[in-house]
Amino acid sequence: MTIRVLLADDLPLLRAGFRMVLDAQPDIAVVGEAGDGAEAVAQTALLDPAVVLMDVRMPGVDGIEATRQILASSDARVLILTTFDLDDYAFAGLRAGASGFLLKDVPPDQLTAAIRAVAAGDAVVAPRVTRRLLDAFAHQLPDGPAATEAPVDPREHPRLTELTAREYEVLLELAAGRTNAEIATRLVLSEATVKTHVGRILNKLDLRDRVQAVILAYELGLV
């Protein structure tokens, strides 16, 4: 199946560059472009893309608000685009429900791989970016239990009581931004077993993807 992609960025040159890369892929089609958040919301409703590549800093309605509106009214998934890997807008985008975070200088093969992963229902959480975001902004986010008083033992938090000891270990590894392969190595498990644990964690905690797992781990004081 062809993955329908909408490009949302206020710089026409960047949109042209992304379009050139994506149109060269046999399974990806750029179905439209938007120069600001409001247009991105409107184009999503009109064109029904599977994935929206969303810049965060745009005039008028920014990418964060556009992400909220798109996810509230469509099944499209959003990949946040930004220039800096420590951009606070990027974390806000993840909290708004985006499925991942890409730097604008991402290599073409990583860009297309990220789009395919998101279209398939996965999330794109680069370990380097995840760790930097958590380190840089953990003390700045006012929402959630961690902003008031975290449990003495985070494992006793009501949301985590259904997790097994192994699932809790895997959640900690997810919170550190590690891939399934890295988790498998660290915990001496097969990748298939790790994948099963991740699925159970997401199901038990009612989370959509790995991005939400990382955010929840921060909010509960696990990081």
Residue ranges per structural domain of the chain: 3-124, 134-219
Contacts of 203 (CB under 8 A, 6+ apart): none
pLDDT for residue 135:
60
Residue 76, phi then psi, degrees to nearest 5 = -65, 150
pLDDT at 186 over 50: yes
Buried-state track 147-162, b at ≥16 Cβ within 10 A, e below 16:
eeeeeeebeebeebee
pLDDT at 94 over 70: yes
Q: Whole-structure pTM over 0.95, yes or no?
A: no
pLDDT for residue 83:
76
Domain 134-219: give its CATH architecture.
Answer: Orthogonal Bundle (1.10)
Low-confidence winner among 25-34, 40-49, 100-109 (lowest mean pLDDT): 100-109
pLDDT at 19 over 70: yes
Q: Which of the pair, 132 or 37, is modelled with greater confidence? A: 37
pLDDT for residue 155:
66
> Which residues is 80 bridged to in the sheet?
54, 101
Q: What is the mean pLDDT of the chain?
A: 82
**Does domain 3-124 correspond to CATH entry 3.40.50.2300?**
yes
pLDDT at 162 over 50: yes
Stretch 69-96: mean pLDDT, rounded?
79
pLDDT for residue 85:
58
> In the chain, what percentage of residues exceed pLDDT 70?
82
Whether 56 and 89 have beta carbons less than 8 Å apart is answered as yes
Please spell the DSSP secondary structure of 16-64, one letter per residue.
Answer: HHHHHHHHTSTTEEEEEEESSHHHHHHHHHHH--SEEEEES--SSS-HH
pLDDT at 148 over 50: no
3-124 and 134-219 have identical folds? no
Q: Which of the pair, 164 or 106, is modelled with greater confidence? A: 164
Banded model confidence at residue 146, pLDDT cuts 50, 70, 90: very low
| 74/48 Cα distance (integer angstroms) | 8
pLDDT at 145 over 50: no
pLDDT at 142 over 60: no
Stretch 115-143: mean pLDDT, rounded?
65
Low-confidence winner among 1-5, 35-39, 210-214 (lowest mean pLDDT): 210-214
Q: Which of the pair, 102 or 71, is modelled with greater confidence? A: 71
pLDDT at 31 over 80: yes
Which of 57-66, 94-103, 131-140, 205-214: highest mean pLDDT? 57-66
